[in-house]
Amino acid sequence: MADVGSGLFNPVNDRRISELIKEHRQVVHAIQRHDAAKAAEIMRKHLGRTARRVKNV
C-alpha cells in the first residue's frame, strides 16, 4: 500500500510547497484587506487544485 502523503510533501515537490505557502498568504492578505470575495475566489481555486492532487494520489 502506498503512503498517501508521499506524493504531496517530499523534496521533489518543494516547488509545490512554495506554491501552497503563496496561496495561503494570498488568502490571508485578502482577509486582512476585508476583501471576502477575493479571499473566497482564491480559496476556491486552492481547494480545486488540492482536490485534483488528492484524486491523483
pLDDT digits (tens, 9 = 90+) for 10-51: 555 778 888 889 999 999 999 999 999 999 999 999 899 888
Task: Look at residue 16 in the predicted model and tell me its pLDDT.
Answer: 82
Query: Phi/psi zone of residue 6: left (φ > 0), alpha (ψ -120 to 50 degrees), beta?
Result: alpha
How far is Cα 12 from Cα 32, in angstroms, rounded to an integer? Answer: 32
Instruction: Give the integer Cα–Cα distance in Å for 57 and 44.
Output: 20
The three cell numbers locating residue 42? 482564491
User: What pLDDT, on the 0 to 100 scale, is given for residue 30?
Assistant: 97
Distance CA 2, CA 52 (A): 18
